Chain A
C-alpha cells in the first residue's frame, strides 16, 4: 500500500522558513516523480513544485520560484520542500503527491503551513 507521510508544518512568522518532509513507502520511490500540491484554506489546488525521479529536473510555480527548493533523497525514500521567506499567501495545506505522467495517483494526508505574525 502506498503511503505518503508529511511532516514539518506549523506556524511561522512572515519572512521565516520551514522544511517539509514526506516519507514514502509501499512503492519504488526512486522510479517516480514527486510533487508538492498546495491548497489555501477554502480554495482550489495549486501544483507548487515537482521533481523528477532522479532529482535532476525540478519545476516551481511562479508563486514560489526563488523562495522554495524541492529535493529528494532516494536512499531514504523521502521528499523535501525547503520554504524560505514565507508570506501570508503561502498559508495552505501542502500535499505530498506521487506523480504518474504528471497526474497524481496517490496523495498524502497533507500538512498545514500557517504564516502569520
Chain B
C-alpha cells in the first residue's frame, strides 16, 4: 500500500496569513500516460464529515474558495491556504487514488494563532 505522510501534524497561523501543509507519498502517484497526479485534499471541520477541496492535485472542487491551492507532483504535494480565515479551522487530509487501496494521510490540524 502507498503510505501518505503529512507534515506538520498541526500548525497555528494568524488570521490573514498563509498556511502550508505538506503531503508525501511513499511512491509516485503521477500516471505518466495522462500526466495526472492522483491526489486529493479534504477539509474536516469539527463534528462534520470531510469535504472535498482539491482533486488531481491542483483542481479545486466547485465552490471552494480560491485561497485554497494545491500543488506538487510525483511524491511531494502541498496544500496552501493563502490568507487564513476563521472558518478554515479544521483538519486537512491528503489522499492518493493512484492504486488500490486509496489511503489517507494522518491529517494536519490548522488553528488560529
Find out whether the CB atom of B95 lies under 8 angstroms from the CB atom of A110.
Answer: no
Number of residues in B with C-beta < 8 Å to the partner?
20
Find out whether the CB atom of A45 lies under 8 angstroms from the CB atom of B50.
Answer: yes
Q: Which residues of A contact B42 (CB under 8 A)?
A: 45, 104
A-B Cβ contacts below 8 A, count = 49
| B38 beta carbon closer than 8 Å to chain A | yes
Q: Which residues of B contact A44 (CB under 8 A)?
A: 93, 104-107
Asked whether A47 and B61 contact (CB < 8 A) given A107-B50, A108-B49, the answer is no
Q: Which residues of A contact B18 (CB under 8 A)?
A: none
Find out whether the CB atom of B93 lies under 8 angstroms from the CB atom of A103.
Answer: no
Quick one: which of B40, B49, B52 contacts A110, CB cutoff 8 A? B49
| A73 beta carbon closer than 8 Å to chain B | no
Number of residues in A with C-beta < 8 Å to the partner?
18
Q: How far is the CB of A94 from chain B (nearest CB, A)?
A: 11
Question: Could you tell me which residues of chain A, from 79 to 117, have a CB within 8 Å of some CB in chain B?
Answer: 95, 100-110
Quick one: which of B38, B52, B101, B107 contacts A104, CB cutoff 8 A? B52
Find out whether the CB atom of B61 lies under 8 angstroms from the CB atom of A105.
Answer: yes
Instruction: Give the distance in Å from the alpha carbon of A45 to the alpha carbon of B101 in the complex.
Output: 13
Q: Which B residue's beta carbon lies closest to that of A101?
A: B97
Q: Which residues of B contact A105 (CB under 8 A)?
A: 52, 55, 61
Find out whether the CB atom of B52 lies under 8 angstroms from the CB atom of A47.
Answer: no
| A61 beta carbon closer than 8 Å to chain B | yes
Quick one: which of A45, A47, A61, A103 contacts B55, CB cutoff 8 A? A103
B interface residues, Cβ below 8 angstroms from A: 38, 40, 42, 49-52, 55, 61, 93, 95, 97, 100-107
- Nearest 7 Cβ contacts at the A-B interface: A102-B97, A107-B49, A103-B40, A45-B104, A103-B97, A44-B106, A102-B102
New A-B contacts (7) at CB < 8 Å, excluding given A102-B100, A103-B55: A45-B107, A47-B104, A95-B50, A102-B97, A104-B50, A104-B52, A105-B55
A interface residues, Cβ below 8 angstroms from B: 44-47, 59, 61, 95, 100-110
